[in-house]
Structure 1
Amino acid sequence: MQNGGGVGAVPFDRSASLRYPNSNSKKNPPLPRSSSSRARSLTDPLLQPHQLVNQEVKVDDLETNHFVLVHGGGFGAWCWYKTIALLEEAGFKVTAVDLTGSGIHSFDTNSIASLSQYVQPLTDFLEKLADGEKVILVGHDFGGACISFAMELHSLKVSKAVFVAAAMLTSGQSALDMFSQKTDSNDLMRQSQIFIYANGNDKPPTAIDLDKSLLRDLLFNHSPAKDVALASVSMRPIPFSPVLEKLCLTDSKYGSVRRFYIETTEDNAIPIALQQNLISNNPPEQVFHLKGADHSPFFSKPQGLHRILVDISRIPST
């Protein structure tokens, strides 16, 4: 059901999913990279994974070689398939998590009542890591709020946090607060939103779906057609309660984790001006620019995204 006013007038974003990681890459070979007929720009050359990693730096010598990928609202672990393949082929360990009610995680999105419940697959994973083991968290879109929540709970298990066109919020802020900052470029977002009222029209929305006919323009304006097709049959509604929840972040926990931001310059869902506003309000250690990337750089600029992730992994500990 489309909602034309009230909470529906506040722009929000979509996307989330769950993939069970390969614990043994020899027994479970990495997913094949997809090919595309689209012309590649100089910012996204066709390189082999071994060319993307400085041979003088051995993956095993890094502070951690384990990436944990966290999808955005409506997406699932499936959206990282190119990034998973590139990182695994370069020698990294990769875990892509499906958050509650996302991807293949069997839970009714409309029944998710809190951010804690939504992020539980990620926090459960971090909790089970061995003492002293650390990972690099990568969050896309609303996944930025999710990794922030996890950083506050398990700061000692996170080496670095990477926000990819993501909600990098300050304490006391919700994702809805962030999206409400959009004023000039929210028409497409408003048009795309379909609010779901599983508890009745007289109750608050339980989830947000996206108009499939507007997905390409909103999220995939520079992505290959086959990835848009994959998303159109894989995306699920976004639970509404977690979007409303304000984060509680402390300097001693969340603030102790090194943060990096990857800007997507051709993003129609979280425009570059909004990304830069998030960065100025909550400055990370370093900002990277992914030119020509839409809101889904794992589809539109997979090689460029991979290079930046590898570069971040190689930044020495302070």
Structure 2
Amino acid sequence: MGALVSCFSDAGEGRRPQQQRRRQAVNPPPGLSAEVAAAIGLASNDRSGKARSLRKGRGEELLTHEQALAAAILLQQSSGDGTGTGTGTVPFDRSTSLRYPGHGQKKQGLPRSSSSRPRSLADPVLQPQQLVNQDLKIDNLETKHFVLVHGGGFGAWCWYKTIALLEDSRFKVSAIDLTGSGVNSFDTNKITSLPEHVKPLTDFLETLGDLDKVILVGHDFGGACVSYAMEMFPSKVAKAIFLCAAMPTNGQNTLDMFSQEAGMNDLMQQAQVFVYANGKDHPPTAIDLDRSLLKELLFNQSPAKDVALALVAMRSIPFAPVLEKLSLTDKNYGSVRRFYIETTEDNAIPISLQQSMCGVNPPEKVFRLKGSDHSPFFSKPQALHKLLVEISSIPSSPTQ
């Protein structure tokens, strides 16, 4: 969300006719529009990359397609018209993570990144089990339940890699669709307050037992949503992790916080499109992001297929919650342990602004994801997973 808070040729040179293989057209699954199918590379005339995907390992490519398809089909079914405006009535359990076939069974490894960015030594290819300290006793942790809260315009779908990695490491994971986001059918333009936008998260926390605790992870504007939940339910939050996120102080709103970079982030200003559903003589009701600028703004280091998924799944950002000042007390919000994860290649919330927020409102510890854009769950999923597990295992100090 940033200040307020998107491709797949096959050269057949030198091939003799008898060496050319007949390619079978891939038809989009029922319920998926041709536009969405084309976006994620399943249109019948999409011949690019077929030979390459076979060489890389067809199983990995199919797994990525299945995950993207599951989210895209669910989004279209819930919205009815495929626009993401939310007119459908398909029931959805919004307080739990995106479901995958064979839950509880042995899972395949996470597919390799399809990003064209050269992989650095800081982000090696590792299997999920290698990312976690082998001596970590997960059952001895204060909690092994992560609750993932998306940022402005995103939805629970954006966490699909993180969900898979954490579940492979035997953590429990819930990914929340906030009101007017993801597959939640509420009209974004009709959201009038922060509590209304955060209600799916607070409803979820309210259902937890008195002794149940979770680790909240907030991305982007999700940081403000997590802060509100910390104030409401401090006894149910063991730790809060702000992932390139808004981290407000008492009496501050997200607009105030990000106004620090006014005039400094021209890309964000160019990308913002204000929506006036109540007329131009009234305040904006939502913010859209120019689709032609999304890749550079949010996904400049992310794989092409994840960018394609985001282009069909992202929705408008409700404006009223951005303006609402938070009331945060030391007794509640201040009692929860906070951690911050910085992203160094972030074009939406620049690293300088992230550092400024941490300086004004210092967390217990700051971590850094080198080479990550504003969407580390896409661009650096393995490194992000490693940090989440590391933070989950940090013990309380004797004074806490």
Q: TM-score range by the shorter chain?
A: over 0.9
The code of the aligned residue for 2:96 comes to: Y
Match of 1:20 in 2: 96
Match of 2:137 in 1: 58
| Structure 1 pair 47–131 and aligned structure 2 pair: CA distance change class (3 A) | same
Tell me, yes or no, if structure 1 residue 152 matches structure 2 residue 144.
no
Q: 2:109 & 2:284 partners in 1: Cα distance?
A: 39
Tell me, yes or no, if structure 1 residue 313 matches structure 2 residue 392.
yes
Deviation at 1:304, TM superposition (A): 0.7
Match of 1:37 in 2: 114
Q: 1:124 & 1:76 partners in 2: Cα distance?
A: 17
Deviation at 1:307, TM superposition (A): 0.4
Q: 2:376 & 2:260 partners in 1: Cα distance?
A: 23
Deviation at 1:54, TM superposition (A): 1.2
Match of 1:73 in 2: 152
Match of 1:275 in 2: 354
Q: 1:231 & 1:22 partners in 2: Cα distance?
A: 15
Kindly indicate whether the alpha-carbon contact (under 8 Å) linking 1:192 and 1:211 is maintained by their aligned counterparts in 2.
Answer: yes
Kindly indicate whether the alpha-carbon contact (under 8 Å) linking 1:19 and 1:104 is maintained by their aligned counterparts in 2.
Answer: no
Deviations 1:233-265 (A, max 9, x none): 100000000000000000000000000000000
Kindly indicate whether the alpha-carbon contact (under 8 Å) linking 1:19 and 1:77 is maintained by their aligned counterparts in 2.
Answer: no
The code of the aligned residue for 1:35 comes to: R
Deviation at 1:23, TM superposition (A): 9.0
Match of 1:212 in 2: 291
Q: 1:51 & 1:239 partners in 2: Cα distance?
A: 40
Q: 1:188 & 1:217 partners in 2: Cα distance?
A: 8
Where in structure 1 do 4 or more consecutive aligned residues deviate above 6 Å? 22-26
TM-score for both structures, normalised by structure 1:
0.92
1:224 to 297, 303, 309: 303
Match of 1:198 in 2: 277
Deviation at 1:185, TM superposition (A): 2.7
Deviations 1:256-289 (A, max 9, x none): 0000000000100000000000000000000001
Kindly indicate whether the alpha-carbon contact (under 8 Å) linking 1:31 and 1:85 is maintained by their aligned counterparts in 2.
Answer: no
The code of the aligned residue for 1:233 comes to: V
Match of 2:28 in 1: none
The code of the aligned residue for 1:248 comes to: S
| Structure 1 pair 303–58 and aligned structure 2 pair: CA distance change class (3 A) | same
The code of the aligned residue for 1:12 comes to: L
Ranges in structure 1 where 5+ consecutive residues have no aligned partner: 1-9
Q: How does 1:281-300 map to 2 (within 5 A)?
A: 281-300=360-379
TM-score for both structures, normalised by structure 2:
0.74
Q: 1:12 & 1:31 partners in 2: Cα distance?
A: 38
1:109 to 164, 169, 188: 188
Q: 2:111 & 2:324 partners in 1: Cα distance?
A: 37
The code of the aligned residue for 1:83 comes to: T
Deviations 1:122-163 (A, max 9, x none): 000000001111000000000000000000000000000000
Q: 1:201 & 1:176 partners in 2: Cα distance?
A: 20
Match of 2:222 in 1: 143
Question: Any idea what SS the aligned residue of 1:87 has?
Answer: helix
Q: 1:252 & 1:230 partners in 2: Cα distance?
A: 41
Q: Which moved more, 1:161-170 or 1:22-31?
A: 22-31
Match of 1:249 in 2: 328
Deviation at 1:164, TM superposition (A): 0.3
Q: How does 1:111-130 map to 2 (within 5 A)?
A: 111-130=190-209
Kindly indicate whether the alpha-carbon contact (under 8 Å) linking 1:31 and 1:84 is maintained by their aligned counterparts in 2.
Answer: no
The code of the aligned residue for 2:133 comes to: N
Kindly indicate whether the alpha-carbon contact (under 8 Å) linking 1:19 and 1:76 is maintained by their aligned counterparts in 2.
Answer: no
Deviation at 1:184, TM superposition (A): 4.8
Q: 2:320 & 2:281 partners in 1: Cα distance?
A: 16
| Structure 1 pair 250–50 and aligned structure 2 pair: CA distance change class (3 A) | same
| Structure 1 pair 31–115 and aligned structure 2 pair: CA distance change class (3 A) | farther
Question: Any idea what SS the aligned residue of 1:181 has?
Answer: helix
Q: 2:239 & 2:285 partners in 1: Cα distance?
A: 33
| Structure 1 pair 24–77 and aligned structure 2 pair: CA distance change class (3 A) | closer
Tell me, yes or no, if structure 1 residue 164 matches structure 2 residue 246.
no
The code of the aligned residue for 2:341 comes to: I
2:163 to 84, 94, 108: 84
Aligned residues: 306
Q: 1:171 & 1:32 partners in 2: Cα distance?
A: 43
